[in-house]
Amino acid sequence: MATALRVSDPAPDPIPQSLLDDITTRLAATAAEHDARAEFPAENFRILHEAGLLGLTVGREFGGRGAGLGEAIRVLRAVARGEPSTALILFMKYGYWAGSFGRTDTWPRALRDRLAREAATEIALIGGLRVEPDLGTPVRGGLPATTATRTAEGWSITGRKIYSTGSTGLTWFAVWAKTDEAIPRVGMFLVRAGSPNVEIRPTWNHLGMRATVSHEVVFTATPTPFDHAVDIRTPAEWSAAPTEGAGVLWNALVISVIYDSVASAARDWLAGYLARRVPSNLGAPLTSLPRVQEKFGEIEALLHVNRVLVDDAVARHEAGDTPEAVKVNIVKQVVTTNAIKAVEIGLELTGNPGLSRDNPLERHYRDVLCSRIHSPQTDTILVAAGRSAFGS
């Protein structure tokens, strides 16, 4: 059975930075179009597939590169700097195949091996469908309304999922559902896209990250085989499961990197704009003004802190010293807050041009604001940090 990449495993050769820079440029060229149309960025995934990047974290025995967190961060940083919705969808695939967040022993071997080979060689994307209209996110507790009923052939899935990232472009839905057993179990059921009785309702009309196409997905007695219940447990078993480890780290650091990269793209555009803008009453570029230099320096400081925090956590993990969950979630909170602030400073410096849809800064601002909605959210992170500090 495929297992999570271990610290002791030999690392594959790093992806050339020149390739990543080219990916950023190519994805950035169509980012505004994908945002305006709120469409799945299919061409971006073709580009990533041709570059050999879709199977980055899939085990080498299945045809992937077997890369770990550090290399995935490098790739996702480059992708997000070009088009962040693509990076968020790609992150889900990377996360599942980098050991499914350390729970690979729950997957039937034959199924996992088949899906791993598919993920390494095809444009085969997997996404988690967890959020529901009534429950919200399961991170805060509670049983999903989506129900898996045992049948003679397997399972029958019925329910509604909202904020389903990547919906129309996914190959596999990883559906969070409960069983209809006397003592319900809850967990992940795999449903292949195109299965009977699956409806994708185009409900995603969001401020930012519009190309994630996070539509509502409705299952009505949708069949899936027995062995596609890949990780189901009682609520008590889930409560007793450790919250430390690779899953928390991947989520916190990748979300951090995606939105930090949005802010970095905003910073790059802003630097060029300020250098080109020569007001007639000044006779020199805006970059010559001490006030502008000071505020741009503040952006540089915020983004430098972000890079240091993320790189330190990655380095510790790769050295075998994975930071505890409360600490890596603090990194997520600080980095995303800094990213929002950095783009807001850019808007202060540009005024109306920064909010014009003719310029990318307003799109970067809409995208970076979406960092606030990813679990765990700020209140959860800070309460946990406070409790940890008092407990120690």
Q: Within this chain, do residues 114 and 146 fall inside the same structural domain, yes or no?
A: no
Over residues 144-185, the pLDDT tens digits come to 999 999 999 999 999 999 999 999 999 999 999 999 999 999
Over residues 291-344, the pLDDT tens digits come to 999 999 999 999 999 999 999 999 999 888 888 889 999 999 999 999 999 999
Whether 241 shows a pLDDT value over 70: the answer reads no
How far are the Cα atoms of 177, 260, 267, 360, 364 from residue 355, in angstroms, in the given order?
42, 20, 15, 9, 10
Q: Within this chain, do residues 276 and 205 fall inside the same structural domain, yes or no?
A: no
Please state, in angstroms and rounded to a whole number, the distance separating the CA atoms of residues 172 and 81. 26
Weakest-pLDDT range from 181-190, 209-218, 245-254: 245-254
Please state, in angstroms and rounded to a whole number, the distance separating the CA atoms of residues 348 and 325. 35
Structure tokens at 31: 């980012």
Domain of 65, CATH number, reads 1.10.540.10
Number of domains forming the structure of the chain: 3
* Residue 21 belongs to some domain of the structure: yes
Task: Fill in the DSSP letter of residue 206.
Answer: -
* Residue 5 belongs to some domain of the structure: no
Residue 324's CB is within 10 A of a number of other CB atoms, namely 14
* Residue 8 belongs to some domain of the structure: no
Whether 100 shows a pLDDT value over 60: the answer reads no
Q: Within this chain, do residues 210 and 135 fall inside the same structural domain, yes or no?
A: yes
* Residue 6 belongs to some domain of the structure: no
Q: Which of 124, 142, 167 is the last residue of a domain?
A: 124
Q: Which of 214, 236, 258 is the last residue of a domain?
A: 236
Asked if 232 contacts 188 with a C-beta cutoff of 8 angstroms, the reply is yes
Q: Within this chain, do residues 269 and 382 fall inside the same structural domain, yes or no?
A: yes
Asked if 43 contacts 30 with a C-beta cutoff of 8 angstroms, the reply is yes
The residue written with tokens 């949708």 in the block is 222
Q: Within this chain, do residues 218 and 89 fall inside the same structural domain, yes or no?
A: no
pTM given for the model: 0.92
Q: Which domain holds residue 144?
A: 128-236
Structure tokens at 321: 């010293």
In this prediction, residues 194-210 reach a mean pLDDT of: 97
Q: Within this chain, do residues 93 and 136 fall inside the same structural domain, yes or no?
A: no
Q: Within this chain, do residues 100 and 229 fall inside the same structural domain, yes or no?
A: no
Weakest-pLDDT range from 2-6, 44-48, 173-177: 2-6
